[in-house]
Amino acid sequence: MGVDTPDGSLPPSDPKVFLEHMDMAGIYSAVIYGFTRKPNFEDAELWRECYRAYNDFLLDFDSHAPERIIAPPQMPVVFPETCLAEFQRVVGRGAKAVEFVVFDAAKPLGDPMWDPLWSAAEEADVPICCHIGDKAGMPYPPNEHGQLFAHFSLSPMAIARAIPEFIFGGVLARHPKLRISFGECRVGWLPFVIYWMDRQVDARARREPDPHVRLSLRPSEYVKRQMTFSFEEDEIGVRLLDQDWAYIGEVAVWGCDYPHGQGVWPNPEPVTAAIPSALKQEIVFDRAARFFRIAPPSFARKGAGGMVEIR
């Protein structure tokens, strides 16, 4: 369903219109991400300045309603040596979360080079957010011979590799209070990935232990302790939420995917109504509110409203 907007306005980046659109769907607070097709600059200094300018825009956007809008500033992961300073700068300005684009990371996620960033995020109690997408500068494939639709068929799972990298790289073992959120990735495919990570421990890690990393917990335990994953319209995932063996009932959070046409804004009720009633309040509001340290308004404590992850 379309809505009328003021002439010349850009609703996702106009905080006044954005908040009005959240109210239309009964959404109290939102975690939002920028575009996934990021530019790729040959001039490294220009690229660094673009990170900084973009983050300043996001921080200004957040400032219009700090308890309702969380647009995570993007860490300059192409330049790992600059990440800690930028993290400290944006957190000093009030950032409640930061985005780490795993596709652009200059080093593997378990590389010790990232540890100062993980330690800072852990100490500041600021979660790391990872969104689906692709490497900077990567265009969408052409809409011919099935290439475009094949791409979008797999886009939710593109971020899957980062999950075991965080775990088997020892990041969560070394930083037990670090929180990692995966956005817009859906959850129907997650049970097998989590099961298969545990299987690697049973089938491989005991025979061929990593000389650099020792895990005291099973991968599924790290996932439950420190990760969340957002979904929108995911019929498979919703059917698995109340199945203990599927893991995801303890890590899923719901989002409406505004302003995408494929999302469920401005009327999310047909989708959220399918969430098992015993888990609905937790998945639609409470879990995300705890994870992002959002103090809910008085009406939310009565079970109304929503806390979602969107872009």
pLDDT at 306: 54
CA 159/CA 149 separation, integer angstroms: 18
What pLDDT is attached to residue 307?
52
- Is the pLDDT score of 264 beyond 90? no
- Give the pLDDT of residue 228: 98
Contact status, residue 98 vs residue 75, Cβ threshold 8 Å: yes
Kindly indicate the confidence band of residue 94, based on its pLDDT and cuts at 50, 70 and 90: very high
Are 288 and 307 a contacting pair, CB within 8 Å?
yes
Q: Which of 131-140, 162-171, 178-187 has the lowest mean pLDDT?
A: 131-140
- pLDDT at residue 175 greater than cutoff 80: yes
The answer to whether 198 and 220 have CB atoms below 8 angstroms apart is: yes
Q: What is the band of 268 on the pLDDT scale with cuts at 50, 70, 90? A: confident
Q: Are 30 and 305 in contact (CB under 8 A)?
A: no
Total number of residues shown for the chain: 311
Confidence of residue 302 (pLDDT cuts 50, 70, 90): very low
**Cα–Cα dist 24/142, whole Å:** 35
**Exposure b/e, 93-116, CB count within 10 A at least 16 = b:** eebbbbbbbbbbbeeebbeeebee
Of 172, 174, 177, 165, residue with least CA distance to 110: 165
Q: In whole angstroms, how far apart are CA 295 and each of 203, 283, 287, 291, 299?
A: 43, 16, 12, 11, 12
CA distance 72 to 98: 4
pTM of the model: 0.92
pLDDT band at 267 (very low <50, low <70, confident <90, very high): confident
Res 37: pLDDT: 67
pLDDT at 84 over 70: yes
Identify the pLDDT of residue 311: 41
The answer to whether 194 and 224 are in contact (CB under 8 A) is: no
Residue 119's closest CA among 82, 172, 55, 183?
Answer: 172
Q: Which of 20-29, 98-107, 145-154, 266-275 has the lowest mean pLDDT?
A: 266-275
Interval 98-152: pLDDT, tens: 999 999 999 999 999 999 999 999 999 999 999 999 988 888 899 999 999 999 9
Q: Which residue has the tokens 């593997």?
A: 108
Mean pLDDT of the chain: 90
Residue 257 Ramachandran class (φ > 0 left, ψ -120 to 50 alpha, else beta) = left
Q: Does the structure show a pLDDT above 50 at 207?
A: yes
Lowest mean pLDDT among 35-44, 184-193, 233-242, 244-253: 35-44
List phi, psi (to 5°) of 95.
-60, 130
pLDDT value, residue 2: 66
Q: Do 278 and 242 meet the contact criterion of CB atoms below 8 Å apart?
A: yes
SS3 227: strand
The pLDDT assigned to 303 comes to 43
Of 18-27, 247-256, 291-300, least confident by mean pLDDT is 291-300
Q: Would you state the structure tokens that stand for residue 280, as one six-digit string?
A: 């609905």
pLDDT at 274 over 60: yes
User: Is a pLDDT exceeding 50 seen at residue 29?
Assistant: yes
User: Where does the pLDDT of residue 298 fall: very low under 50, low under 70, confident under 90, or very high at 90 and above?
Assistant: low
